[in-house]
Amino acid sequence: MSSAPLVGIPMQTMPAIPGATPDCWVVGQRYVQALVAAGGIPWTIPLLAEDEKALRRIYAQLDGLMLTGGSDVDPTSYGEKRRPACGRSDLPRDRVEIALTRWAIADRKPTFGICRGAQVLVVALGGTLYQDLASERQGAIRHDCHAPEEGFNRDSLVHEILVERGTQLTEILAVDKVSVNSLHHQGIATLAPTLRATAFAPDGLIECVEGTGSAFFVGVQWHPEELAPTGAPHRRLFEAFVAAARTRRA
């Protein structure tokens, strides 16, 4: 058990319910379950955006960092003004995750971003996002496929991605084409020079980014935690990440 790596998972803000609950920090169970199934030990991270010292002390204990899905990345986090179609954001979460990402890449600490998490990796390193794909990206297919009343579930396979050969993702998935779910309305617009796009949706939207170094630094636009229980390629993403964090721990 001592070799099991500690993986930090920043939480997200759940707004107060007047008269019932105060503001809360929460994290989706599926992310934690997929990580534990792959052999990682989760360490949920509070959004201590105003306390860098405490955040640093938490970060120092970690063998890996996993950024999960959730609310929209605030446009101010990548230097843009908010447009009408941009959804609810969580600025304290942006600040915490961007700081953690920058520390992790400087230390070559394994980092895995999922959906919003992939977008945060891009923003942390100087890239930008589409605030709303349907209204901003010409020729975009539908990517926000999650409404049960429309026949979608969180594990619905709605489109394929094409994976670039000779990449970490190809090595991990062991395939160059895989069907994925799609639960987002924002997307990656421009990459930082230190990132490489390694998978694409049928409309050309970036579905995976990787760091250009040898350390594990991968962000995927779909939600593999929903597909891992029955989909081996998606399960291998968590296994590869945990293996990298375990090597870091050793």
Residue 164: is its pLDDT beyond 70? yes
Give pLDDT, residue 215: 86
State how far the Cα of 219 lies from the Cα of 221, in Å rounded to an integer. 7
pLDDT confidence bin for 19, thresholds 50/70/90: confident
Q: Does 223 participate in catalysis according to the annotation?
A: yes
pLDDT in tens, 61-114: 999 999 999 999 999 999 999 999 999 999 999 999 999 999 999 999 999 999
Q: How far apart are the first and last CA of the chain?
A: 12
Q: Look up tokens 């050969």; give the residue.
A: 165
The CATH number given to 6-249 is 3.40.50.880
Average pLDDT of span 10-18: 93
Identify whether the C-beta of residue 169 lies closer than 8 Å to the C-beta of residue 234.
no
Q: Which of 143, 159, 184, 223 is catalytic?
A: 223
Q: Look up tokens 């949920």; give the residue.
A: 44
Residue 216: is its pLDDT beyond 70? yes
State how far the Cα of 103 lies from the Cα of 118, in Å rounded to an integer. 16
State how far the Cα of 137 lies from the Cα of 171, in Å rounded to an integer. 30
pLDDT in tens, 108-158: 999 999 999 999 999 999 999 999 999 999 999 999 998 899 999 999 999
Identify whether the C-beta of residue 95 lies closer than 8 Å to the C-beta of residue 76.
no
Average pLDDT of span 12-21: 91
Give pLDDT, residue 50: 96
Strand pairing category for 159-163 and 195-200 = antiparallel
Q: Look up tokens 């520390």; give the residue.
A: 103
pLDDT in tens, 58-70: 999 999 999 999 9
Which of helix, strand or coil describes residue 160? Answer: strand
Q: Which of 97, 225, 226, 234 is catalytic?
A: 225
Average pLDDT of span 179-207: 96
Q: Could you tell me what percent of the chain has a pLDDT over 70? A: 99
Q: Does 185 participate in catalysis according to the annotation?
A: no
Residue 2: is its pLDDT beyond 80? no
Q: Which residues contact 205 (CB under 8 A, 6 or more apart)?
A: 133, 137, 140, 141, 143, 187, 188, 221
Average pLDDT of span 188-217: 94
Give pLDDT, residue 20: 87
Average pLDDT of span 201-211: 97
Residue 52: is its pLDDT beyond 70? yes
DSSP 222: S
Residue 1: is its pLDDT beyond 60? no
Which of helix, strand or coil describes residue 170? Answer: helix
Which of helix, strand or coil describes residue 214? Answer: coil
Which of helix, strand or coil describes residue 235? Answer: helix
Strand pairing category for 64-67 and 6-10 = parallel
Q: Which residues are registered as beta bridge partners of 71?
A: none
Give pLDDT, residue 212: 86
Q: Which helix (H) or strand (E) holds 52?
A: helix 52-60
Give pLDDT, residue 3: 86
Q: Look up tokens 């792959």; give the residue.
A: 38
Q: Does 80 participate in catalysis according to the annotation?
A: no
Strand pairing category for 187-190 and 195-200 = unpaired
Q: Which of 86, 97, 115, 184 is catalytic?
A: 115
Mean pLDDT of the chain: 96
